[in-house]
Amino acid sequence: MRRFIFLVVGVYFIFLSTMMVSAIAEKLSMPRIIRFQGKLADANGTPLSGFFNLRFSLYDAPEGGMPLWEETQEDVTLEEGRLDVELGSVSELDLPFNEQYWLGVEVEADGEMEPRFKLTSVPYSMTSGK
């Protein structure tokens, strides 16, 4: 009988500690958002100002291919061309970030700008939460 009580108590503590670790890990999970800043200008080099719809896409290649992730941010404010957005704030950024990705940007419906932006190490820190 004593062994059974110790077994039940042991299982109960394992269950509680697993739940606590899971709750702590959930609270400490990293936000899956990437800040992207840049400067946008028209074909003449004049910085854009006003409200614009921007489409962002992530690819696994610098050219061609299908987007692995996309989101459109509407009415993004640009002042003297300055762009400051948080990717993943509209559509969940659920890529594993375990390989190289490139960011495509499209302003209004003018087609994606070239070349794509190669992501560097900061977004890849998302895998450190695993």
What would the pLDDT profile of 26-51 be if each residue is shown by its tens digit?
555 667 889 999 999 988 999 999 99
More confident residue, 110 or 7: 110
Q: Which CATH class is domain 34-129?
A: mainly beta
Residue 129: what are its φ and ψ, rounded to 5°? -80, -5
- pLDDT of 114 over the 60 cut: yes
The pTM of the full predicted model, rounded to 2 decimals, is 0.73
Q: Taking the CA of residue 44 as centre, how many other CA atoms within 13 Å lie in the half-sphere pointing to its CB?
A: 2
Cβ neighbour number for residue 19 with a 10 Å cutoff:
10
- pLDDT of 11 over the 50 cut: no
